[in-house]
Amino acid sequence: MDSGNKEECRALLEHIDDKMINNPELFIRRPVYEQKDLDCIYDYSKPEKSLKQTLKSTYKEFRLNDFLKKTIPIIHWLPNYDWKKNILGDAVAGFTVAVMHIPQGMAYAMLGNVPPIVGIYMAFFPVFIYMIFGTSRHNSMGTFAVICMMTGKVVLTYSNHEDSQSNSTSSIEFHSSINQYSPIEVATSVTLGVALIQLTMYVLRLGVISSLLSETLVSGFTTGAAVHVFTSQLKDLLGLKLIKRRGILKVIYTYFDVFNNIDKINVTATIISSITILTIIFNNEVLKPRVAKLCAFPIPIEMMAVVMGTWISVQLNLSEIYDVTSVGHIPVGLPIPSMPPISLLSSTILDCFIITMVSYSISMSMALIFAQKLNYEVDSNQELMAQGLGNLVGSFFSCMPFTASLSRSLVQTSVGGKTQLASLISCFLLLFVLLWIGPFLEPLPKCVLASIIVVALKGMFVQVKDLMKFCRLSFSDALLWLITFFTVVILDIEYGLLIGGILCFAKLIILSVIPHGCKLALVPDTELYLDIERYRKTMEIPGIQIFHYCGGLNFATKLHFRKSVFEATGIKPQEELNRRAKMYFTEGATDEIKNQLRVLILDFSALTHIDSTGFATLRGLINDYMKIDVAVYLAGCSGPVFETIRKCNTVENVSDIFVMLPTVSDAVRYAKHENLILPISIPSSQL
């Protein structure tokens, strides 16, 4: 211990001495209770409800009005909306988010290998439904790069994809032949599959499943997916015409194709991409922080880039003279509702499940962050219903699966958005775009949209910093992040999520089957019992060993439990029996045996669960120690653990070998009385 720590400890001891002088010690006098005596005196009973009582109480508590308000939240918040306080902030937020939706929606639709107008459809139909049923006030729902790219992979696999962003006026129409589907058909089929999975999860009340994807897994996965997104935009940034790679190692093959075609770069498209990227970065890093001090309304730089790109394309005729690929035909009006192809569901159901897990986890993570920050509640099961219904409706209107966007959500909050009404205002503005503005954006160069995507990836690439945080907190978390990231990048997205998920679950299983255990010892002049390895000035009581067990005792942990007890006591009963048999007639052996362990106290105050296998293990352990004249007491059992032990005793007709006491202190005092073990007292002056 260095001199600084010694001075700190000395000052702390002086402070404690002052407290003891000014505050006399508190003495508590009470009898030592056994658990059965305590239960009898204070009338212990297990709380039980029959099925009839449960149904009756549920029926009494059921109120149609409350049920409707919970199921359709807009019924609750819209009549109570504070128009004077919130309308200005929601109006500004709705307009701002609508302006962001247009370029982001068109750009992210390209990731999904569907026409750009689909991104604006996604900002209208499912968002309108979510506004009615959702519980997050600040999530900006719609397109998100990772989800669109995951959908685009399925579209590329199952569609007769030539170039879904071509200038063909029929690109948005449904057409299919034998075993062939259009990109829109595949995308809407995936959306329908995601909707059905989400609604099924809602019926089964599986909202808690979002917590199964850890922060480490999501961070590594989305960072790796950002590499895929960036790679997919290289051809548009550089004006190259490359074949679309699929499957394992597609990122590596794509870079190989780029370098092989480096002499075919379209200089005009590259210049436009560079100017757009630099302009947006300059705005975000330099202008935006300064403008934020003057007004809450941010500069709509992405929308300005779209408008300027379109105007320059028209003035310079970029498409024909410089061979710069443009967005192409954008239909006017709303799409005609059509049924997605049900026959595709059997082929895409696994992809749908993966997309469901990722999209729901991302949305819930963002919703919980905003809810915690702004002090309101988010219902995880209701979010499943809202997203499921949004995807269900969207699947009939040419939409891909939607989720929350971190960038838009942060902007919506920062400009004053208070409630879901901001989404409603955004939807009405986008409806105006769909009905009248769309055709004006047809000359927009694709390289502008690709530039918007690349700059928007900054937030995902910055997550690399999370790796350093995980390294400091836990080596296993850092390793999980690295494996997930490199698997996503080198293999493919679904492989990364699968392997990362398996490792995440494996970590949970390992932690559950290797619970924590430690020896406890007495803090002198107190009734505190602390970990002897962490508190070096604690004192062991001669003849008594106290073992603290934290976790579950079941079929998976029984061997670890026995091993931990043997290591803590330093005695294996069978070996001790053999040793004593050999030493029985040896001179001095009797005294040695008398000085050995007499009582083992198992502190089960942190035991969470015990099953029949765990009970059998515990019973066998007690019997083994009884054979070498060591009494075993159980201390601090919770109600469910106590009830399970009692039930197993009754069912298996076991004689009452369990001595149970409510606290470790009771167990020690009981052991001293029953086994004639002399108490020890160590004055604090010896510390």
pLDDT grade for 296, boundaries at 50, 70 and 90: low
* Closest to 416 in 3D by CA, of 29, 90, 59, 11: 90
The pLDDT tens digits of the residues spanning 658-676 come to: 888 999 998 998 888 765 4
Q: What dihedral angle (degrees, nearest 10) is formed by the CA atoms of 468, 403, 189, 102?
A: -110
Q: Quick one: pLDDT at residue 173?
A: 46
Determine the Cα–Cα distance for residues 109 and 172; give it in Å rounded to an integer: 12
Side chain identity, residue 331: P
> DSSP letters along 176-236, please?
-BTTBB-HHHHHHHHHHHHHHHHHHHHHTT-GGGGGGS-HHHHHHHHHHHHHHHHHHTHHH
Instruction: Specify if 156 maps to a domain.
Output: yes
pLDDT grade for 680, boundaries at 50, 70 and 90: very low
Residue 210 has pLDDT above 60, yes or no: yes
**Checking phi first, is residue 228 left (phi over 0); if not, alpha (psi -120 to 50) or beta?**
alpha
Residue 611 has pLDDT above 70, yes or no: yes
Structure tokens at 156: 């590329």
Residue 564 sits in the same domain as residue 440: no
Q: What are phi and psi of 547, to 5 degrees?
A: -115, 120
Please, are residues 218 and 463 in contact by the beta-carbon 8 Å criterion?
no
Instruction: Specify if 422 maps to a domain.
Output: yes
Residue 147: Cβ within 10 Å count:
27
Residue 427 sits in the same domain as residue 347: yes
**Checking phi first, is residue 404 left (phi over 0); if not, alpha (psi -120 to 50) or beta?**
beta
Residue 378 has pLDDT above 80, yes or no: yes
Residue 616 has pLDDT above 50, yes or no: yes
Structure tokens at 115: 């026409």
Please, are residues 386 and 133 in contact by the beta-carbon 8 Å criterion?
yes
Instruction: Specify if 496 maps to a domain.
Output: no
Q: Quick one: pLDDT at residue 410?
A: 79
Q: Quick one: pLDDT at residue 445?
A: 92
Element (H, E) at 610: strand 599-610
Look at the alpha carbons of 261, 267, 271, 273 in this order and tell me if their dihedral is positive or negative: negative
pLDDT grade for 654, boundaries at 50, 70 and 90: low
- Residue range of the domain that includes 322: 82-161+182-465
Residue 237 sits in the same domain as residue 314: yes
Q: Quick one: pLDDT at residue 632?
A: 92
Q: Quick one: pLDDT at residue 58?
A: 53
Average pLDDT for the chain: 83
Determine the Cα–Cα distance for residues 391 and 388; give it in Å rounded to an integer: 5
Strand partners, 516: 550
* Closest to 313 in 3D by CA, of 266, 264, 268: 268
Distance between the two ends of the chain, CA-based, in angstroms?
15
Q: What are phi and psi of 498, to 5 degrees?
A: -65, -50
Structure tokens at 142: 């719609």
Q: Quick one: pLDDT at residue 122?
A: 95
* Closest to 113 in 3D by CA, of 20, 184, 42: 184
Instruction: Specify if 233 maps to a domain.
Output: yes
Give Cα 268 distance to the centre of its chain: 43
Q: How many domains does the chain have?
A: 2
Residue 285 sits in the same domain as residue 140: yes
Tell me the Cα Rg of the chain: 33
64 vs 579, higher pLDDT: 579
Determine the Cα–Cα distance for residues 135 and 367; give it in Å rounded to an integer: 9
Residue 433 sits in the same domain as residue 519: no
Determine the Cα–Cα distance for residues 250 and 153; give it in Å rounded to an integer: 11
Q: Single out the residue in 443, 465, 487 at which a domain terminates.
A: 465
* Closest to 576 in 3D by CA, of 626, 619, 628: 628
Q: What share of the chain is helix, strand, coil (3-state, %, to 5)?
A: 65, 5, 30
**Checking phi first, is residue 653 left (phi over 0); if not, alpha (psi -120 to 50) or beta?**
left
Strand partners, 518: 548
Residue 687 has pLDDT above 50, yes or no: no
Q: Quick one: pLDDT at residue 365?
A: 82
Structure tokens at 264: 């075919």
Please, are residues 221 and 145 in contact by the beta-carbon 8 Å criterion?
no
Q: Single out the residue in 465, 496, 528 at which a domain terminates.
A: 465
pLDDT grade for 601, boundaries at 50, 70 and 90: very high
* Closest to 68 in 3D by CA, of 132, 125, 139, 138: 132
The pLDDT tens digits of the residues spanning 58-87 come to: 555 556 677 788 889 999 888 888 888 888
Q: Work out whether strand 403-404 and strand 141-142 pair parallel, antiparallel, or are unpaired.
A: antiparallel
* Closest to 207 in 3D by CA, of 368, 78, 337: 368
Residue 383 sits in the same domain as residue 523: no
Percent of the chain with pLDDT over 70: 85
The pLDDT tens digits of the residues spanning 119-137 come to: 999 999 999 999 999 999 9
**HSE toward the beta carbon, residue 602, CA cutoff 13 A:** 24
Q: Starting at the earlier edge strand, list the strands of the sheet with 599-610.
A: 529-531, 516-522, 544-553, 599-610, 631-635, 659-661
Instruction: Specify if 55 maps to a domain.
Output: no
pTM of the entire structure? 0.78
613 vs 11, higher pLDDT: 613
The pLDDT tens digits of the residues spanning 431-474 come to: 888 888 888 888 999 999 889 888 888 888 888 888 888 888 88
Write the DSSP symbol of residue 514. Answer: S
Q: Quick one: pLDDT at residue 131?
A: 94
Instruction: Specify if 402 maps to a domain.
Output: yes
Q: Which CATH number covers residue 534?
A: 3.30.750.24
Q: Quick one: pLDDT at residue 172?
A: 47
Q: Quick one: pLDDT at residue 418?
A: 87
Please, are residues 386 and 134 in contact by the beta-carbon 8 Å criterion?
yes
Q: Single out the residue in 465, 483, 506 at which a domain terminates.
A: 465
Structure tokens at 69: 């308000």
**Range in 67-76, 146-155, 396-405, 608-617 the model is least confident about:** 67-76
Q: Quick one: pLDDT at residue 268?
A: 94
Residue 186 sits in the same domain as residue 92: yes
Residue 681 has pLDDT above 50, yes or no: no
Side chain identity, residue 474: S
**Checking phi first, is residue 6 left (phi over 0); if not, alpha (psi -120 to 50) or beta?**
alpha
The pLDDT tens digits of the residues spanning 316-333 come to: 999 889 999 898 888 888
Write the DSSP symbol of residue 274. Answer: H
3-state SS assignment for residue 146: helix
Residue 321 sits in the same domain as residue 403: yes
3-state SS assignment for residue 631: strand
Instruction: Specify if 7 maps to a domain.
Output: no
Residue 461 sits in the same domain as residue 523: no
Residue 95 sits in the same domain as residue 238: yes
Q: Quick one: pLDDT at residue 402?
A: 95
3-state SS assignment for residue 265: coil
Q: Quick one: pLDDT at residue 603?
A: 95
Give Cα 393 distance to the centre of its chain: 27
The pLDDT tens digits of the residues spanning 500-521 come to: 888 988 888 888 888 889 999 9
pLDDT grade for 390, boundaries at 50, 70 and 90: very high
Residue 641 sits in the same domain as residue 534: yes
Write the DSSP symbol of residue 539. Answer: B
Residue 488 has pLDDT above 70, yes or no: yes
Average pLDDT of span 600-608: 93
Average pLDDT of span 613-626: 91
**Range in 29-33, 98-102, 308-312 the model is least confident about:** 29-33
Average pLDDT of span 200-216: 83
Instruction: Specify if 46 maps to a domain.
Output: no
Residue 401 sits in the same domain as residue 531: no
Q: What are phi and psi of 404, to 5 degrees?
A: -85, 150
pLDDT grade for 171, boundaries at 50, 70 and 90: very low
